[in-house]
Structure 1
């Protein structure tokens, strides 16, 4: 289908043609106008169909974009929910870790050596005492060191006993932190999905705009074809009206001719009748003329 109307195929009608052309010329012109009008109506119909098809595609793209918008918004709501849960859990974990740190500080557990370290050192010192030959002074110092280590070990164990559920609190804090991390992972994944739907929404709207622009162009082409078809139809109607006027004029002329002929026959019959009254003899033709006009 051509994008533009071939103006050379259009049929023009001037006022002068309408007034001066004879019936034969006007009948031919009417046929040309009718055929061109029908062609243009067909062209307009095809263009309207193309426009409607593109408008339908536009609506589909807009619907697609709306679906992505709804999915994006739903995912963003989930992101917000997981963020709130993550922040809540992180706050709880921080609170538990602070509790552990405060308890350690109170018991001075963060200072000094661990139980394992102290036990290992005591074991090494006792092994040295048993296996090495030491002077009395060195052995005395070694024994004092072992006793000091044992006192430190006892003190450390006592503090650990006093710490109660410190390890349990620490484990709970770690569990809460791990759960918060899971929610953070959900935030990241859902946010990525939401962004993908946002990008697809933008693309669908962009495609919808392009298709809509194309549909608008086809609508303009439809209007051009329809207006041209309407113009040809209007001219066709004008020619038909003119032909009816010519028919009426011909009928009027025929009627006038008939009336003139009848008047002439009546006048002739009156003359014949007057002659008959004056005693003239009438022939058959004269009698028929009198009968025809009703004078006999």
Structure 2
């Protein structure tokens, strides 16, 4: 993956320092010291690169958590609103059911009162007056007068029944008003259902978007982690090679020290042997010069 798209430096493989077994085993002390310095510097550079990538990865992971928290807040608000939607739906349905019952009673009462059928009171009253006037002014046979009286009585009875129904219609008006009020209250709850459902949907959409953004950022964080691992593994490899060179240098130091000790031991042995030969010559009567005497002294023979 390209590191540049994340605004960070690419890992240049050509800048890596290679350590072969041949370099390690056959290289001179000076060459190994130089190589150790190169490995150390490249390791430090790679560790810095890994640190920068880890920091960017951590920033992306933090942003991912922020988006997830944001999505969770929208989820909670959506769920709360949906609960309110259900409450208002329940109230709306209960009120609609109550209103339906009331309107059924209204229809039933209208049917019982028969207010939509027949003549109004003024018409009936006028008809009764006309019939009574006829009875009073016309000369009728006994049979015709009897029929007219019966007709007047029926009209009066119809008038009285109609009058009672009209008087009872006040209760009907109250019932209609109550039913309309209940229906109006149900409509208010329905309006709240619509408003809250729209608001809940908006939070749902924002939740989905926040989760989508969180997934995108998480993918970038995962890619940045891979870039971090790339740099860290390269840094670790250079550190391991640096340690190997340091170990080899210590081995070379020990070998040099051993060679120096062996050389000094050989020199002492040679000096001792020479001193013993000088001492033997002295015992044989030869004359010793100052240098010979010093050699005998250094050998502990004087």
Larger deviation, residues 71-80 vs 33-42: 33-42
Could you tell me how far 1:168 is from its partner in structure 2? Answer: 0.8
Q: CA deviation at 1:149?
A: 8.2
Return the offset for 1:107: 2.5
Name the counterpart of 2:168.
162
What pairs with 1:91-240 in structure 2 (closer than 5 Å)? 91-112=97-118, 115=120, 119=122, 154-163=160-169, 165-240=171-246
Look up the match of 2:296. Answer: 290
User: How far did residue 234 of structure 1 move?
Assistant: 0.7
Whether the 8 Å contact between 2:124 and 2:159 is mirrored in structure 1 is no
Equivalent-residue separation in structure 1 for 2:159 and 2:207 (angstroms): 67
Deviation at 1:209, TM superposition (A): 0.1
* Equivalent residue, structure 2, for 1:241: 247
Hey, what does 1:256 align to over in structure 2?
Answer: 262
Mark the runs of 5 or more structure 1 residues left unpaired by the alignment: 126-135, 137-144
Q: Which residue in 2 is equivalent to 1:58?
A: 64
**SS of the counterpart of 1:103?**
helix
Q: Residue 281 of structure 1: CA displacement?
A: 2.2
Normalising by structure 2, we get a TM-score of 0.85
Match of 1:267 in 2: 273
What is the CA–CA distance in structure 2 between the aligned matches of 1:249 and 1:122, rounded to whole Å?
Answer: 142
The 3 A distance-change label for structure 1 pair 112 and 232 is farther
1:233, distance to aligned residue in structure 2 (A) = 0.7
**Structure 2, gaps ≥5 residues long:** 1-6, 128-137, 139-150
Tell me which moved more, 239-248 or 188-197. Answer: 239-248
Kept after mapping to 2: 8 A contact 1:4/1:221: no
**Aligned equivalents of 2:36 and 2:126: distance in 1?**
125
| CA deviation after TM superposition for structure 1 residue 4, in Å | 3.6
- Go from structure 1 to structure 2 and tell me whether the alpha carbon gap of 1:3 and 1:212 turns closer, same or farther (over 3 Å shift): farther
Q: What count of residue pairs does the alignment treat as equivalent? A: 277
2:87 aligns with one of 66, 81, 85:
81
TM-score (norm 1): 0.86
Q: Tell me how far apart the structure 1 counterparts of residues 284 and 174 of structure 2 sit (CA, whole Å).
A: 158
Deviation at 1:122, TM superposition (A): 7.3
